[in-house]
Amino acid sequence: MDKVHTSIPLCFPDNFEWDRGSGTLVKKRKARGKLVVCEDALQILRSIDGPICPIAVTGPARCGKSYIASQMVESRPHDCVFKTSGIWMSTDMFKKKLRKGVEVTVFVMDTEGLGAYDAYSEDDLQMFSLVSLLASVLVYNSRGSMTVHDIKNLRWVGTLGNVINVDEVGKGTKSKVKDFIKFFPNVMWLLCDVSMTFSISPGDEEIEVDIKDYILEEVLKLEEETGDGDDRVKEGNTYRNALLKSFPVFDAFKLSTPSIDINVLANMHKEETRSKLDKDFLAEVDGLLGRLAILMKPKKAWPYVGNIHGKQFAELLKEYVSEFSSSGGVLNIRSIGSRVVETLLNDVHEKAFDKYTSKMDEFLKSVLPCPNHEVVYKHKTCLDRAMQYFNVKSKYIKDSDSLSIYRKKLLERIAVYSDDGLTCVGGHLKTSLASNVKQSDVFCKKIVDDLFKEKLKPLMDYCEEDDTGQSIDVESAINDVETEYKKRARGPQIWHVYKTELAEDQENVEELMRSLKIEKEKIMHLSWKDDIVEQKKGIANDREESIAAILSQVNQLLKSHPGLANELQILIAQSKEESKKQEKELMKKHDCTD
Ligand SMILES: Nc1nc2c(ncn2[C@@H]2O[C@H](COP(=O)(O)OP(=O)(O)OP(=O)(O)O)[C@@H](O)[C@H]2O)c(=O)[nH]1
Ligand SMILES: [Mg+2]
């Protein structure tokens, strides 16, 4: 497993390589080139949610920056945590509640010394500009007391304006210092190894003053420019102006010599040395930390972003470093700001959309098919959730144009409505509603199939098989199917499927039943007819038989009584009458007039 580092480089010169395993920068066999960012550090930064307060320590080489930066990390580590080439960050972060109630995550950044023997002045300037842009509190560390003659030590500040461009690209508008000064860090000038007291003499008498007042009065007070060729004064005034005007708050603090023992001084970063340090020095370090706490403020980024979080800080760092290497050393922080806003809003928009879809899809999975109004109701709750997320996460972005573009983008990705606002014609909601229709269709058709198999098919089979002429209650069977369908069917396709599928089945059944009835009636009718024919046949036979019998009787009578013609006529008439009577009775029985 990789070692847990107490500090990690944010960016470093490309003649080094970050070795995650040992937590060190390994020097490569090449000359120093551009700065590169450390992806591991960006990951750590991105995980910081909420406002941040980065404190950076900078200043000339070998003047105790790394030692003092270590003392600023809470809880104070015993060993020096920084090994500086490039900009390093403490991985031990801590929370602080600031005066206005904002809670910030504080982390300390240490920089390689300005004017180090192997760094060119351009690199120094880049380094100084970078920490000025990244920090909320900038500690400028120098050793020894500062006099008016040491003013050139401020050259980094003086040339800041050459490196940082704030004007809109392609537009003639000039930004004023006051527009962006509040985005710059509060600055603390820390003078080490200064044991003496300071005094100023506004009148005749000397007054002992705090080092801050001394510096403001004696070092940073503009010198009168006497005229031609007084470049030294001019230059000094430029630096003075830059320091006082580029940073919103200026403070200064001094620390006395930590020890008179040179062995102790040489090993201050070691844990065992702490007990050997001068007690006054340690008390002063406590005092310094108290003063720094007053200077702390949430980091803001110019021009659009308010309080930035770890993620935005990581984006800014990446942008600054890559812009430095591609722009020949000049940063346009306005266009960087716009790009960062773009990246951030994209990210927030994407996450807000995920919030919407994750809840919505989970719901759809469990309830579809369902009435469309339930889908729309859930959509509204999920939309509120997504918009709330978007608003909370973008509240620190002050670029109202970009905000409204991304808000609209998010809304359109979720749902687009027709001009009259009544129909959803696009976005995720449209897909959800379409899926509901599709699932409802399949679901309802399956119910129709099931009901047909369960209830109608057996009925039809029974009707077809049964020829007993018993009456079957088709109507109540169909009503039963209808009630059951209404009970089981779900979603927007209930009526469509009812009309197109179930009603058709019902009609088929009814039709079949009707034709079945007719067939049966025909069969009945036919059998009646057959009966009549048979019976008629019987009557005819009977009549033939009786006619033959009568004729034989007649012959006998005529033989024995030749004069009995009248008796013969009566017998014939009787036979005819009998035959008709039988036929009538048959007709009456079958209600048939045939
Ligand atoms: N005299 C004195 N020495 C100090 C002080 N602080 C640290 N040192 C010693 O000065 C040397 C450099 O200290 P660092 O803290 O590494 O200084 P630095 O400014 O970070 O050095 P670079 O990163 O190389 O620019 C070490 O030997 C420290 O023990 C101080 O306040 N006074
Ligand atoms: Mg150092």
Count other C-beta atoms under 10 Å from residue 258's C-beta.
23
CA 66–ligand 2 middle distance (angstroms): 4
Ligand nearest to the CA of 113: 1
Q: CA triplet 175, 176, 181: central angle to 5 degrees?
A: 110
Ligand nearest to the CA of 70: 1
- How far apart, in whole angstroms, are the C-alpha atoms of residue 455 and residue 446? 14
Q: Which residues line ligand 1 (CB under 6 A)?
A: 61-67, 84, 112-113, 192-193, 255, 257-258, 265-269
CA 309–ligand 2 middle distance (angstroms): 26
Instruction: Return the pLDDT at 176.
Output: 59
Nearest-atom number in ligand 1 for the CA of 267 is 29
Instruction: Return the pLDDT at 3.
Output: 43
Question: Of 50, 56, 65, which is closest to residue 101 (Cα–Cα)?
Answer: 50
Residues with CB under 5 A from ligand 2 (ion): 65-66, 84
Q: Per residue, what are the HEC states of 44-79?
A: HHHCCCCCEEEEEEECECCCCHHHHHHHCCCCCCCC
CA 21–ligand 2 middle distance (angstroms): 21
Q: Is the dihedral of CA 500, 501, 506, 512 positive or negative?
A: positive
Q: Per residue, what are the HEC states of 101-112?
A: CCEEEEEEEEEC
Instruction: Return the pLDDT at 343.
Output: 85
Instruction: Return the pLDDT at 592.
Output: 45
Question: Of 481, 490, 484, which is closest to residue 438 (Cα–Cα)?
Answer: 490
Atom 27, ligand 1: residue with shortest CA distance: 266
Instruction: Return the pLDDT at 594.
Output: 41
In this structure, which amino acid lies at residue 491? G
Ligand nearest to the CA of 278: 1
Nearest-atom number in ligand 1 for the CA of 257 is 32
Atom 4, ligand 1: residue with shortest CA distance: 64
CA 589–ligand 2 middle distance (angstroms): 128
Structure token pair of residue 263:
């062995």
> For the chain, first and last CA: distance in Å?
109
Atom 15, ligand 1: residue with shortest CA distance: 64
303 preceded by a cis bond (ω within 30 of 0): yes
Q: Cβ(156)–Cβ(138) under 8 Å?
A: no
Q: Which of 58, 66, 270 to mutate to test the pocket of ligand 1 (most atoms within 8 A of CB)?
A: 66
**Superfamily assignment of 7-329 in CATH?**
P-loop containing nucleotide triphosphate hydrolases (3.40.50.300)
Per-residue pLDDT of the chain (594 residues; tens, 9 = 90+): 444 558 999 999 999 999 998 888 888 888 888 899 999 999 999 999 889 999 999 988 888 999 999 999 876 665 655 666 899 999 999 999 998 889 999 999 999 888 755 555 778 888 888 999 999 999 999 888 777 666 777 777 777 777 777 666 555 555 655 666 778 899 999 999 998 888 888 777 888 899 999 988 888 888 887 766 677 788 888 888 888 888 889 999 999 999 999 999 999 988 888 899 999 999 999 999 999 999 999 998 876 667 888 988 999 999 999 988 887 777 787 788 888 888 889 989 999 999 999 999 999 999 999 999 999 999 999 999 999 999 998 877 778 889 999 999 999 999 999 999 889 999 999 999 999 999 999 999 999 899 888 887 777 676 655 555 455 667 777 788 889 999 999 999 999 998 888 777 777 777 766 766 666 666 566 555 566 666 666 666 766 676 666 666 656 655 655 555 565 566 566 666 766 776 677 666 555 444
pLDDT in tens, 523-546: 566 555 566 666 666 666 766 676
Q: Is the dihedral of CA 23, 29, 30, 31 positive or negative?
A: positive
CA 67–ligand 1 middle distance (angstroms): 6
pTM over 0.85: no
Q: Cβ(206)–Cβ(269) under 8 Å?
A: no
Any residues with CB less than 8 A from the CB of 340 and at least 6 apart, and which? 301, 305, 312, 315, 316, 319
CA 65–ligand 1 middle distance (angstroms): 6
- How far apart, in whole angstroms, are the C-alpha atoms of residue 184 and residue 69? 20
**Which H/E stretch holds residue 306?**
strand 305-307
Instruction: Return the pLDDT at 413.
Output: 97
Place of tokens 């027709």: 418
CA 83–ligand 2 middle distance (angstroms): 6
Atom 24, ligand 1: residue with shortest CA distance: 62
Q: Which of 268, 271, 272, 280 to mutate to test the pocket of ligand 1 (most atoms within 8 A of CB)?
A: 268
In this structure, which amino acid lies at residue 350? E
Can you tell me whether residue 187 is helix, strand or coil? strand
Instruction: Return the pLDDT at 241.
Output: 81
537: exposed, middle or buried (C-beta count within 10 Å: 0-12, 13-18, 19+)?
exposed
Atom 3, ligand 1: residue with shortest CA distance: 265
538-548 burial by CB neighbour count: b if 16+ within 10 A, else e?
Answer: ebeeebeeeee
CA 269–ligand 1 middle distance (angstroms): 8
User: What's the Cα-to-Cα distance from 387 to each of 391, 400, 418, rounded to whole Å?
Assistant: 6, 16, 21
- How far apart, in whole angstroms, are the C-alpha atoms of residue 251 and residue 261? 30
